[in-house]
Amino acid sequence: GSYRWLKKQMDGIAHRNAQGLFTALEQRCLRRGKTLTKFDNLISWIYGLFSIYGYSAWRPFFGLVVLILFMSAVYSCNTTGFECSAGGQLYPDIWQAGLLTRLKQTFAPFYGLRDAGSLSEGFFYLGQSILSVTLISLMLLAIRWKFRRD
The pLDDT of residue 85 is 55
The pLDDT assigned to 61 comes to: 92
Query: Tell me, what DSSP letter sits at residue 104?
Result: H
Left if phi > 0, otherwise alpha if psi is -120 to 50, otherwise beta: which for 88? left
Q: Alpha-carbon distance 89 to 92, whole Å?
A: 9
φ, ψ (nearest 5 deg) of residue 85: -145, 150
Q: What gap in Å lies between CA 114 and CA 104, rounded to an integer?
A: 13
The stretches in the chain having pLDDT less than 70 are 1-23, 79-91, 148-150
d(CA 122, CA 31): 34
pLDDT value for 103: 86
Rounded to 5°, the CA angle 142-145-147 comes to: 110
pLDDT value of position 62: 93
